[in-house]
Amino acid sequence: MGTIEIVSMVAAIILVLNVILASLMVFFERRKPSSTWAWLLVLFFIPVLGFVLYLIFGRDSKREKVFKAKSKYDKDVYYKYLFHDNHSAKKVQEQKKIVANGGRILDSDYLTDLAYLHINSGNWITFNNRVKKYIDGPSKFKALIEDIRAAKEYIHMEYYIIRGDELGKEIVHELALKAQQGVTVRLLYDGMGCRTLRKSFFRELHDAGGQTAAFLPPLILRLNYRNHRKLCVIDGKVGYIGGFNIGNEYMGLVKRYGAWRDTHIRIEGDAIDQLQIRFMMDWNFTNKKSQVPLTEYYFPRRMQFEGVKMQIVSSGPDTEWKNIRNGYFKMMNEAEDHIYVETPYFVPDDGILEALRVAALSGIDVRIIIPGNPDHFFVYWASMSYLGELLDAGVRCYQYEKGFIHAKAVFVDGSVASVGTANMDIRSFDLNFEVNAFIYDESTVKSMERDFVRDLDNCIEITKEWYHTRKWWFRLKESIARLISPML
* DSSP secondary structure, 49-91, as one string: HHHHHHHHHS--HHHHHHHHHHHHHIIIIIIHIIIIISTHHHH
Which residue in the list 118, 133, 408, 477 is annotated as catalytic?
408
What is the C-alpha to C-alpha distance for residues 292 and 156, in angstroms, rounded to an integer?
Answer: 10
Which regions in the chain score pLDDT beneath 70? 1-2, 5-8, 10-62, 84-87, 89, 219-223, 479-488
What is the C-alpha to C-alpha distance for residues 398 and 341, in angstroms, rounded to an integer?
Answer: 10
Which residue in the list 118, 140, 228, 322 is annotated as catalytic?
228
Give catalytic status of residue 468 as yes or no: no
Q: Which residues touch 243 (CB under 8 Å, ≥6 apart)? A: 230, 262, 263, 264, 406, 407, 408, 419, 420, 421
Give catalytic status of residue 413 as yes or no: yes
pLDDT, position 92: 77
Which residue in the list 70, 230, 309, 477 is annotated as catalytic?
230
CB-count burial class (<10 Å; 0-12, 13-18, 19+) for 49: exposed
pLDDT, position 18: 60
pTM of the model: 0.89
DSSP 214: E
Give catalytic status of residue 406 as yes or no: yes
Which residue in the list 60, 165, 235, 365 is annotated as catalytic?
235
pLDDT, position 275: 97
Tell me the domain boundaries of the chain: 3-58, 65-83+129-305, 323-487
Give catalytic status of residue 74 as yes or no: no
pLDDT, position 346: 96
pLDDT, position 84: 66
Which residue in the list 406, 441, 455, 477 is annotated as catalytic?
406
Give the C-alpha distances (Å, rounded to integers) separating 186 from 126, 163, 296, 465: 26, 17, 18, 53
pLDDT, position 403: 96
Give catalytic status of residue 365 as yes or no: no
CATH class for the domain made up of 323-487: alpha beta
Q: What is the pLDDT of residues 132-187, one digit of tens each?
A: 999 999 999 999 999 999 999 999 999 999 999 999 999 999 999 999 999 999 99
The CATH code of the domain at 65-83+129-305 is: 3.30.870.10
